[in-house]
Amino acid sequence: EEQSEQAQDLAGKRVLVTAGPTQETVDPVRFFTNHSSGKMGYSLAEAAAKRGASVTLISGPTQLAAPAGVKRVDVVSAEDMLQAVLSVYDEQDIVIKSAAVADYRPVQTSDKKMKKQAGNLIIEMERTTDILFTLGQRKQHQFLVGFAAETDDAIAYGLGKLERKHLDAICVNTVGKDGAGFQSDTNEITYLNKEGKNQHFPSNTKQQIAHQILNEILADMEADEV
Ligand code: CTP
Ligand code: CA
């Protein structure tokens, strides 16, 4: 059986994964969101659980079922996700932020359905809190991993985020390329860490990529302890 052959190298570790998009409400029938399917985050949660971790998955709205043995917490907006993450952050050993969090939300939300009017509509948007930046500021013992999906200059932008958000590592991928992206069952990522590691994983199933990412995290955590 697959489960019994799997090395339990995350036994005793608490792992927090965020996944999926967020939804930012405009009115009772409308919201802003993005193309994230949640598959990468769910694959990470599933892989970590199979390796013996105690896994919490904080998820925006997705079509996916919670992986076996994973505690899922459902959220809708970026603000909901921030509060859910902060409430369990202190007790985590590894935090992986694969969610595609909205950068902006409408300044005002309407209790009633908005009616169309003559002329153009302008919706004023304000910045959401950067959850990962907040976690970086409050980091104690946690190994903190971000994601960056970019259309161009992926490594340069990824390195910028690694530094600015005080991360231990970041998984960078180029969206729009074959076999890498939001809805796909496959992904291709480059794992960058704060010591300058640049480990590329060519296109593979998200489940395989998840295990490869967890291997890198474990290796980095062991190196940190020495
Ligand atoms: N992130 C977050 N909270 C936000 C926005 C992003 O926690 N409000 C996290 C994402 O979960 C991801 C990382 O930050 O792990 C990078 O997200 P990304 O959208 O690539 O970067 P941004 O910092 O938002 O920059 P930009 O969208 O301008 O590229
Ligand atoms: Ca963003």
- CATH for the stretch 11-104+123-225: 3.40.50.10300
Question: How far from the centroid of its chain's Cα atoms is residue 106's Cα?
Answer: 22
- Tens digit of each residue's pLDDT (9 = 90 or more) over 36-54: 999 999 999 999 999 999 9
- Tens digit of each residue's pLDDT (9 = 90 or more) over 79-136: 999 999 999 999 999 999 999 999 999 999 999 999 999 999 999 999 999 999 999 9
Percent of the chain residues topping a pLDDT of 70:
96
Name the 3-class secondary structure at 105.
strand
Instruction: Give distance in angstroms: CA of 172 to centre of ligand 1.
Output: 11
Percent of the chain residues topping a pLDDT of 90:
90
Q: What rounded mean pLDDT belongs to the chain?
A: 95
Q: Which residue CA neighbors atom 16 of ligand 1 most closely?
A: 148
- Tens digit of each residue's pLDDT (9 = 90 or more) over 138-179: 999 999 999 999 989 999 999 999 999 999 999 999 887 554
The residues spanned by each domain of the chain are 11-104+123-225
Q: Which residue CA neighbors atom 24 of ligand 1 most closely?
A: 103
For residue 128, the ligand 1 atom closest to its alpha carbon is 8
Q: How far is CA 194 from CA 70, 166, 167, 191, 209, in A?
A: 29, 9, 7, 10, 20
Q: Which residues are catalytic?
A: 34
- Residue 71 among known ligand-binding residues: no
- Residue 103 among known ligand-binding residues: yes
- Which amino acids bring their CB within 6 angstroms of ligand 1? 78, 97, 99, 101, 103, 128, 130-132, 146-149, 161
Q: Which residue CA neighbors atom 20 of ligand 1 most closely?
A: 148
How far is residue 74's CA from residue 65's CA, in Å, rounded to a whole number? Answer: 11
65 has pLDDT over 70: yes
The predicted structure's pLDDT at residue 174 = 85
Which ligand neighbours the alpha carbon of 101 most closely?
1
The predicted structure's pLDDT at residue 1 = 47
Instruction: Give distance in angstroms: CA of 197 to centre of ligand 1.
Output: 21
Q: Report the sign of the C-alpha dihedral through residues 8, 10, 16, 21, in that order.
A: negative
Which ligand neighbours the alpha carbon of 127 most closely?
1
- Residue 116 among known ligand-binding residues: no
Instruction: Give distance in angstroms: CA of 102 to centre of ligand 2.
Output: 6
- Tens digit of each residue's pLDDT (9 = 90 or more) over 168-186: 999 999 887 554 567 788 9
Q: What's the whole-model pTM score?
A: 0.95
Which ligand neighbours the alpha carbon of 161 most closely?
1
Question: How far from the centroid of its chain's Cα atoms is residue 125's Cα?
Answer: 23
How far is residue 194's CA from residue 75's CA, in Å, rounded to a whole number? Answer: 30
How far is residue 203's CA from residue 186's CA, in Å, rounded to a whole number? Answer: 6
How far is residue 15's CA from residue 214's CA, in Å, rounded to a whole number? Answer: 11
The predicted structure's pLDDT at residue 49 = 98
Reported as a pLDDT band with limits 50, 70 and 90, residue 5 is confident
What would the mean pLDDT of 60-72 be, rounded to a whole number?
Answer: 97
